[in-house]
């Protein structure tokens, strides 16, 4: 639509193997993938713009990308699939503070408390999204749809907004900062993961007394109190019921 060409790859890590690698000017991927390419020195010199979404974007990675001689812009794109993937955007600056910017055109963001009252600047609250990108709901899940898609008291009659479950605050300049999840859901390589589900599966294994799962630097790490060390046995048991 804008006169460019689209280069298709099965995943971003295959970029160094593509015949058209030296024609790529913009990469759109997740932070963990671009970090792997950056560490390996495999970002082509032709790349000028990097769009990143799906995971929190750490400032250290932003700095590393700007240290690549050719990269001119690093954009942080935030948003859930329930709002058609992207909801807010910002150009991240070298030496700046982590933030998720401002809503896209035709998107509205509200920071609200449990009573759906607007929160003042600097106070963290749940981010609700509204506007043209809001989806209809979850297929064959009317209860969950009603829980997550609620009437918008700030919009027109019949308009809804989506509860993101993300704890966010607004700076004095109007920019949004992501604080964390209000539940125990995390994102790894763009996939949503409920840590409690993994803990429950571990506790169901013989000999496991306690379990705690954390997301650390893009990986899932489980800490266990068990009768014996058996990590490979536990991994094999988890693979039968959970995604790889």
Sequence-separated (6 or more) residues with CB below 8 Å from residue 217? none
Q: Is 43 helix (H, G, I), strand (E, B) or coil?
A: coil
225-236 pLDDT, tens digit per residue, is: 988 888 899 999
The first and second tokens of residue 51, run together, are: 């769009």
Which phi-psi region, left, alpha or beta, contains residue 35 (left: φ > 0; alpha: ψ -120 to 50)?
alpha
Q: Are 59 and 90 in contact (CB under 8 A)?
A: no
45-77 pLDDT, tens digit per residue, is: 999 999 999 988 989 899 999 998 799 999 999
pLDDT of residue 197: 83
132-147 pLDDT, tens digit per residue, is: 999 999 999 999 999 9
CA of 33: how far to CAs of 14, 40, 185, 221, 242, in Å? Answer: 10, 11, 20, 19, 22
73-117 pLDDT, tens digit per residue, is: 999 999 999 998 899 999 999 998 889 999 999 999 999 998 999
Stated pTM of the model:
0.78
The first and second tokens of residue 197, run together, are: 């589900």
Q: Which of 28, 27, 7 is nearest to 18 (CA)?
A: 7
Sequence-separated (6 or more) residues with CB below 8 Å from residue 11? 33
């Amino acid at each position: 639509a804008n006169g460019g060409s689209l280069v298709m790859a099965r995943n971003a890590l295959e970029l160094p193997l593509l015949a058209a690698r030296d024609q790529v000017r913009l990469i759109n991927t997740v932070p963990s993938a671009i970090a792997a390419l950056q560490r390996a020195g495999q970002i082509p010199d032709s790349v000028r713009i990097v769009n990143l979404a799906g995971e929190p974007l750490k400032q250290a990675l932003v700095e590393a990308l700007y240290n690549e001689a050719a990269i001119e812009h690093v954009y942080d794109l935030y948003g859930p699939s329930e709002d058609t993937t992207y909801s807010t955007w910002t150009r991240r600056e070298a030496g700046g503070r982590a933030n998720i910017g401002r809503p896209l055109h035709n998107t509205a963001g509200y920071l609200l408390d449990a009573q759906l009252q607007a929160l003042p600047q600097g106070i963290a609250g749940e981010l609700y999204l509204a506007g043209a990108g809001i989806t209809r709901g979850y297929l064959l899940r009317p209860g969950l749809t009603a829980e997550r898609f609620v009437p918008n008291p700030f919009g027109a009659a019949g308009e809804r907004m989506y509860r993101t479950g993300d704890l966010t605050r607004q700076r004095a300049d109007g920019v949004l900062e992501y604080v964390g999840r209000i539940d125990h859901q995390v994102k790894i390589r763009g996939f949503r993961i409920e840590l409690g589900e993994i803990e429950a599966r571990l506790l169901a294994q013989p000999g496991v007394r306690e379990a705690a799962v954390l997301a650390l630097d893009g990986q899932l790490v489980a800490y266990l109190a068990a009768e014996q060390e058996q990590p490979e046995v536990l991994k094999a048991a988890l693979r039968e019921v959970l995604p790889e």
